[in-house]
Amino acid sequence: ATPTSIMVGTGRGARLGILVKSGAALQGAGGLTAMVFDKTGTLTHGRPSLDAVRLAPGTSGPDENAALALAAAAESLSEHPLAQAVVREAARRGLSLHKPAAFEAVPGKGVVALIGEKKILVGNREFLTENGVSGMDAADETAADLADTGKTPVHLAVDGKFAAILAIADQLRPESAAVVAELARRGITVVMLTGDALATAKAVAAAAGITRVVAGVLPDRKAQEIERVQAEGFRAGMVGDGINDAPALARADLGVAMGSGIDVAIESCDVVLMRNDLRGVLAALDLSRAVMGNIR
Residues in contact with Mg ion by the rule CB under 5 A:
38, 40-41, 241-242
Nearer to Mg ion, 67 or 254 (CB): 254
Residues designated catalytic: 38
Nearer to Mg ion, 41 or 255 (CB): 41
Nearer to Mg ion, 10 or 40 (CB): 40
| 3-state DSSP assignment of residue 189 | strand
Nearer to ligand ADP, 154 or 246 (CB): 154
What is the nearest approach in angstroms of Mg ion to the Cβ of residue 186? 24
**Residues at the site binding ligand ADP, with contacts judged by CB under 6 A:** 39-40, 75, 78, 80, 82-83, 108-111, 122-124, 152, 154, 194-196, 219, 242, 244
Q: Is the dihedral of CA 73, 201, 173, 237 positive or negative?
A: positive
- Residue 83 interacts with which of ligand ADP, Mg ion, none, CB < 5 to 8 Å by class: ligand ADP
Q: What are phi and psi of 184, to 5 degrees?
A: -60, -40
Instruction: Please name the amino acid found at residue 268.
Output: S
Nearer to ligand ADP, 32 or 82 (CB): 82
Nearer to Mg ion, 241 or 253 (CB): 241
What is the nearest approach in angstroms of Mg ion to the Cβ of residue 148? 21
- Whose CB is nearest to ligand ADP? 195
d(CA 91, CA 94): 5
The single-letter DSSP state of residue 230 is: H
- Residue 241 interacts with which of ligand ADP, Mg ion, none, CB < 5 to 8 Å by class: Mg ion
- Residue 280 interacts with which of ligand ADP, Mg ion, none, CB < 5 to 8 Å by class: none
- Residue 122 interacts with which of ligand ADP, Mg ion, none, CB < 5 to 8 Å by class: ligand ADP
What is the nearest approach in angstroms of ligand ADP to the Cβ of residue 16? 26
- Residue 238 interacts with which of Mg ion, ligand ADP, none, CB < 5 to 8 Å by class: none
Residue 100's nearest CA partner among 128, 124, 123, 71 is 71
Residue 251: partners with Cβ closer than 8 Å, 6 or more residues away:
223, 226, 227, 238
d(CA 192, CA 171): 16
What is the nearest approach in angstroms of ligand ADP to the Cβ of residue 29? 24
What is the nearest approach in angstroms of ligand ADP to the Cβ of residue 38? 6
- Residue 123 interacts with which of ligand ADP, Mg ion, none, CB < 5 to 8 Å by class: ligand ADP
Q: Are 241 and 258 in contact (CB under 8 A)?
A: yes
Q: Are 74 and 120 in contact (CB under 8 A)?
A: yes
What is the nearest approach in angstroms of Mg ion to the Cβ of residue 124? 16
Beta strand extents in the chain (DSSP E only): 18-20, 34-38, 49-55, 102-106, 110-115, 118-123, 152-158, 161-169, 189-193, 212-214, 236-240, 254-258, 271-273
- Distances, alpha carbon 190 to alpha carbons 106, 119, 176, 187, 204, in Å: 29, 41, 12, 9, 14
